[in-house]
Amino acid sequence: AQTVTQSQPEMSVQEAETVTLSCTYDTSENNYYLFWYKQPPSRQMILVIRQEAYKQQNATENRFSVNFQKAAKSFSLKISDSQLGDTAMYFCAFRGAGGTSYGKLTFGQGTILTVHP
Partner 1 sequence: SAVISQKPSRDICQRGTSLTIQCQVDSQVTMMFWYRQQPGQSLTLIATANQGSEATYESGFVIDKFPISRPNLTFSTLTVSNMSPEDSSIYLCSVEDRRGGYTFGSGTRLTVV
Distance CA 106, CA 117 (A): 33
Q: Closest separation between CB of residue 108 and partner 1, Å?
A: 6
Least Cβ distance, residue 73 to partner 1 (angstroms): 18
Which helix (H) or strand (E) is 90 found in, with range? Answer: strand 88-96
E strand map for 18-87: 19-21, 24-26, 32-39, 46-52, 60-61, 64-69, 74-79
Task: Using CB under 8 A, list all residues that contact partner 1.
Answer: 33, 35, 42-45, 47, 50, 52, 91, 95, 103-110
Minimum distance, C-beta of residue 68 to partner 1, in the bound complex (Å): 15
By beta-carbon proximity to partner 1, the closer residue of 20 and 106 is 106
